[in-house]
Amino acid sequence: MTVSVDDFKKALQLWASGVTVVTTYSEKFGNQGMTVTAFSSVSVEPPQILVCINDAADTGAGIDESGYFAVNVLASDQQYVSNQFAGGSSQAQRFENTDWQAGSKGTPLLTDSLMSLECKVVDKLKAGTHQIIIGEVHNCVCRPGEPILYYRGAYRQLDVE
Ligand SMILES: Cc1cc2nc3c(=O)[nH]c(=O)nc-3n(C[C@H](O)[C@H](O)[C@H](O)COP(=O)(O)O)c2cc1C
């Protein structure tokens, strides 16, 4: 049995997730970042996470070049940041309206995000149109706030009592 693209997309829309901006810095490409919901924890010891990055994404080329990246989990008031990093504007413009500071490897950390993980690339796997990039986390920064969520193709707020 083969699943149709439409059925597959509809099914995946029922997966509620947080929203991240994956950032990187390299001498060749400078600061780069893109919106990513395909993020998961992998292992606690060693501390590893993964992100899935489309082969066509410029930011993926930057991560390959740098060997380092950060995952910034967006806060409830950062829908505009998600939109800004989802394409349509240059990499320089994406960072213009967002506060950030360079992490230990120069990787931009979005300082208004809920959490930033600084990672070193330890493995990569080609899967369909994407690369699964596994990162070992060497620094975590947690900040106060609530996350923004993505569900059924729309941004949502967590209803916290
Ligand atoms: C809510 C949302 C989630 C996204 N998740 C992913 C993802 O997990 N992986 C991916 O490769 N692209 C994802 N994208 C698309 C990229 O953010 C978009 O293609 C971006 O422009 C790539 O940037 P670049 O080519 O300039 O690096 C997502 C977009 C949105 C709006």
Dump pLDDT digits (tens) for 101-143: 999 999 999 999 999 999 999 999 999 999 999 999 999 999 9
Dump pLDDT digits (tens) for 54-71: 999 999 999 999 999 999
Of the residues 17, 25, 34, 53, which should be mutated to test ligand 1's pocket, given the most ligand atoms within 8 Å of the CB?
A: 34
Which H helix or E strand runs over 6?
helix 5-12
**Per-residue CA distances from 53 to 10, 96, 152 (Å):** 20, 23, 20
* Signed CA dihedral, 65, 36, 78, 93: sign only: positive
Q: Which atom of ligand 1 is nearest to the CA of 32?
A: 27
Overall CATH class of domain 18-157: mainly beta
Q: Closest Cα to atom 5, ligand 1: which residue? A: 36
